[in-house]
Structure 1
Amino acid sequence: MASPEVETVSSGADKAKLAAAVVLAALGFTAFFMLEAQGALVQWAALLISLVAGAAVFFVSESGRQLIGYGQDAWRETQKVVWPARREAIQMTAYVFAFVFVIALFLWLSDSLISWVLYDLILGWR
């Protein structure tokens, strides 16, 4: 099946919005370090306000709208999934824990055997 071509068109205004979002975030980080004498509350307020403003400008751009659409589609897909019942989930988790325990025991025994053969039998260091 042929997939439709997706063409991303980026206008000058969209690029300006993205640049403004990056500049706002960078100004927030700069303000955080330059406002050290003002106290922690002012520092964090300047940082958070500029990051929120940058995020708002980003979400107004086409890339931000696409990200929001992607998130909505992902949420919609999670709603469509048939999730296992609680009992099935607990059983599967118990199987995974048991398997991990068996593999860990095997690795420990293998390591101990190799260590015993190498250090005790071959090299005689112990």
Structure 2
Amino acid sequence: MKLLTGLLFFSLVLGARGWFSFLGEAAGGAWDILRAYFDMKEANYKDSGKYFHSRGNYDAAQRGPGGVWAAKLISSVRESVQKLTCDNGSTAQKDANDWGRRGNDPNHFRPEGLPDKY
């Protein structure tokens, strides 16, 4: 009985640690998306939106499953808000989000002349 109780206890502890890890990844992924957004606004560079969308999703995905989940959630909410405001996001932005989330290099969308800071 003690063995069963011990196994149950340790599985709960390990499961809780997994949830904390997931939540930490999600928080970090949300920060990555937000940082890419701020960089995009700061750069104010023509045709750079796809690059920053891709980079934010890429950085979030590198954190793990929680980061991917946060990136998908934030992208979905943004697209829903755009539909409500009659400003439909482009298919190119959605493709850039997916590209980055799959772990592909965001520099694929980098516009020529964008400062190296980004």
**TM-score under structure 1 length normalisation:** 0.28
Work out which of the two has the higher radius of gyration on C-alpha atoms and give 1 or 2.
1
**TM-score under structure 2 length normalisation:** 0.29
Write 1 or 2 for the structure with the bigger share of helix.
1
